[in-house]
């Protein structure tokens, strides 16, 4: 078991059907496993207690390791910053994603986007909810919030997927990053001359410690925000729908009491975390579950494994609306807790509610296959459904 590819049977972006069986064995036998990953030698950490301890302690476990991974194509972003530098840069974008900023017109815009997408197939009686709804819905939302006029959302999203696939295919990752930059640079120049009050303009004219962000810093922010805002949320929404459609009794609970949709979203975040890994490196030698990890070593933190740890969650492979909702680590923890978590939850709530409102007697198409797949990122690749017209 010397590579992630060998352990799981594919690359980081491969359609692995079930990594949890292997996570379970690793937690029991080798909870901190030294292996070769597509990004180099790394320690794979799989137990919940170890993962939480790492995420809580940003001083001991630096995010600088991301510079050796996704930072190669995204550029320098808050993902690889620590301490005060991270906080200063995070303050530039965090106001746009606070719950207070997402009320009113933003909520109405998200609802309008969801309704318009469903209008395109609501009279058909059948659909693939991934390709026809979840795949572009979050990209349309984040583009609206940032203020980017995108004509082909599917193509733009594919560039984002290419960017985050750099671990498996570096050339594809760099090409995706360059395509995004080529698309955004003319808009950046326009916002520099004529700010419009959107988040793009805020970034272009923002100051950190008295200095304006450079063009490269702005573009790096956007290379992070666009794929992160679309990639993770589209997967979350697809997995929530899959979970409910494959657990009919719990779907009926949600239909009878829509406040329980929040429980379904949180349980999905635990049960099928959209992002399975984050990266850290210790600033001093550490010992985790009996394994010594030297300072500066790359560590791959298996969020998906931690959220299925039987030591932290009873019967962890079961989807259950009635669990606690505040102990999963799908959005991370501490300083690097996901800045877009409020937006992701809001989009999930609006998207699933709109689907359930508009598509009566929604059910999986029994004649077609649907399952959650993936290693670094997990969600259904397709979700064929039928509904009454």
In this predicted model, what pLDDT tens digit does every residue of 4-40 receive, in sequence order?
445 554 455 556 778 999 999 999 999 999 998 766 7
CA distance 199 to 262: 27
pLDDT for the residue 213: 82
Rg of the chain over all Cα atoms, to the nearest angstrom? 20
Please tell me the predicted confidence (pLDDT) of residue 3.
47
What's the full length of the chain, in residues?
389
Spell out the long-range contacts of 67-74 with Cβ–Cβ below 8 A and sequence spacing 24 or more.
68/39, 68/40, 68/279, 68/298, 69/39, 69/167, 69/279, 70/164, 70/166, 72/166, 72/170, 72/173, 73/163, 73/166, 73/173, 73/174, 73/176, 73/177, 73/223, 74/163, 74/177, 74/220, 74/223, 74/224
- Which pairs from 319-324 meet CB under 8 Å and 24+ separation? 319/243, 319/246, 319/247, 319/250, 319/267, 319/268, 319/271, 320/250, 320/267, 321/250, 321/253, 321/254, 321/260, 321/263, 321/264, 321/267, 322/263, 323/267, 323/270
Fold annotation for 4-388: Cytochrome p450 (1.10.630)
Q: Answer for the pair 316, 297: CB distance below 8 angstroms, yes or no.
A: no
Q: How far is residue 245 CA from its own chain's centroid?
A: 21
DSSP secondary structure letter of residue 3: B
Spans of the chain below 70 pLDDT: 1-15, 38-39, 69-71, 73, 75, 167
* Dihedral pair phi/psi, residue 358, rounded to 5°: -90, -30
CA-to-CA dists, residue 331 to 78, 170, 239, 265, 313, angstroms: 15, 26, 16, 12, 17
pLDDT of residue 1: 43
The closest alpha carbon to 26, from 310, 337, 362, 278, belongs to 310
Spatial separation of the C-alpha atoms in residues 156 and 164, rounded to whole Å? 13
pLDDT (0 to 100) of residue 152: 81
Question: What Å distances lie between residue 220 and 48, 73, 142, 152, CA to CA?
Answer: 31, 9, 16, 21
Alpha helices (H) along 104-247? 105-119, 137-146, 153-164, 170-193, 199-205, 215-245
Strand arrangement of the beta sheet that strand 299-302 belongs to: 32-37, 40-45, 299-302, 277-282, 61-62
Which phi and psi angles does 263 have, rounded to 5°? -65, -40
* Residue-level pLDDT at 60: 96
pLDDT of residue 148: 87
Q: What is the pLDDT of residue 388?
A: 97
Relative orientation angle of helices 137-146 and 341-358, to the nearest 10 degrees: 130
Pair type for strands 299-302 and 40-45: parallel
pLDDT score at 283:
96
Of the candidates 154, 185, 158, 184, which has an alpha carbon nearest to the alpha carbon of residue 173?
158
Instruction: Enumerate residues 6+ apart whose C-beta is below 8 A from 274.
Output: 231, 232, 233, 235, 236, 239, 330, 377, 378, 379
So what's the pLDDT on residue 94?
Answer: 83
Instruction: State the pLDDT at residue 350.
Output: 98
- pLDDT computed for residue 24 by the predictor: 96
What pLDDT is recorded for position 64?
Answer: 83
């Amino acid at each position: 078991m010397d590579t992630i590819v060998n352990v799981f049977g594919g690359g980081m972006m491969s359609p692995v059907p079930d990594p949890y069986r292997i996570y379970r064995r690793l937690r029991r036998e080798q909870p901190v496993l030294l292996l070769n990953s597509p990004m180099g030698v790394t320690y794979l950490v799989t137990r919940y207690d170890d993962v939480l301890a790492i995420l809580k302690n940003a001083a001991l476990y630096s995010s600088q390791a991301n510079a050796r991974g996704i930072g190669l194509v995204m550029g320098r972003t808050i993902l690889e910053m620590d301490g005060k530098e991270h906080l200063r840069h995070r303050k530039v974008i965090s106001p746009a994603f606070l719950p207070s900023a997402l009320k009113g017109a933003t909520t109405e815009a998200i609802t309008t986007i969801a309704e318009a997408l469903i209008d395109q197939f609501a009279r058909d009686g059948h659909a693939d909810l991934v390709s026809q709804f979840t795949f572009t819905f979050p990209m349309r939302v984040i583009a609206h919030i940032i203020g980017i006029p995108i004509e082909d959302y599917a193509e733009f999203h594919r560039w984002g997927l290419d960017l985050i696939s750099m671990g498996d295919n570096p050339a594809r990752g760099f090409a995706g990053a360059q395509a995004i930059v080529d698309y955004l640079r003319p808009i950046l120049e326009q916002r520099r001359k004529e700010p419009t009050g959107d988040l793009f303009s805020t970034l272009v004219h923002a100051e950190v410690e008295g200095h304006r962000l450079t063009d490269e810093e702005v573009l790096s922010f956007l290379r992070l925000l666009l794929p992160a805002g679309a990639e993770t949320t589209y997967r979350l929404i697809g997995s929530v729908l899959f979970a409910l459609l494959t657990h009919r009794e719990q779907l009926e609970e949600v239909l009878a009491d829509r406040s329980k949709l929040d429980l379904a979203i949180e349980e999905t975040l635990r049960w099928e975390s959209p992002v399975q890994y984050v990266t850290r490196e210790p600033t001093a030698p550490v010992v985790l579950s009996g394994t010594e990890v030297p300072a500066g070593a790359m560590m791959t933190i298996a969020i998906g494994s931690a959220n299925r740890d039987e030591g932290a969650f009873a019967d962890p492979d079961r989807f259950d609306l009635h669990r606690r909702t505040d102990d999963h680590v799908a959005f991370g923890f501490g300083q690097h807790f996901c800045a877009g978590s409020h937006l992701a939850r809001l989009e999930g709530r609006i998207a699933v509610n709109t689907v359930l409102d508009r598509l009566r007697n929604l059910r999986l198409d029994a004649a077609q296959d649907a399952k959650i797949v993936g290693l670094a990122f997990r969600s259904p690749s397709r979700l064929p459904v039928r509904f009454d017209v």
